[in-house]
């Protein structure tokens, strides 16, 4: 079973509610880059984070925008937005004395 969030604020509120039950006291977070199926040079950018409670996966998947790879201001805005969302997760963890590490938990298939 999985609990899925797209709102970083709601995800951080859930971390706060689960703070004493998070497995190994670790939340994982990273930026996910996914190639576009429409154009090879376009990358979809997501802020992702996850943790588990009693074996149940809780995750965040927040689309931040597309990077076209042309060094445009918009590319930088997308990257900064993804970093802003991950900083919110990291700051929430820090305030709760939860370790925030790179990576992403995934359900076993």
- For the chain, residues with pLDDT lower than 70 are 108-109
Report pLDDT for 36: 86
pTM over 0.75: yes
Instruction: List, in order of start, the domains of the chain with CATH numbers.
Output: 2-102 (3.30.720.90)
- Greatest alpha-carbon pair distance for the chain in Å reads 44
Pseudo-torsion of CA 87, 8, 74, 43, nearest 10°? 100
Report pLDDT for 109: 62
Report pLDDT for 82: 98
Length of the chain: 109
Report pLDDT for 69: 80
């Amino acid at each position: 079973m999985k609990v899925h969030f797209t709102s970083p604020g709601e995800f951080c509120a859930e971390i706060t509610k689960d703070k004493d039950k998070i497995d190994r006291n670790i939340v994982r977070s990273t930026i996910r880059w996914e190639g576009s199926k429409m154009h090879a040079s376009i990358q979809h950018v997501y802020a992702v984070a996850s943790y588990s409670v009693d074996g149940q996966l809780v995750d965040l998947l927040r689309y931040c925008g597309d990077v076209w790879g042309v060094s445009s201001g918009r590319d930088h805005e997308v990257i900064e937005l993804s970093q802003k969302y991950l900083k919110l997760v990291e700051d929430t963890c820090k305030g709760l004395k939860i370790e925030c590490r790179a990576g992403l938990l995934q359900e076993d298939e």
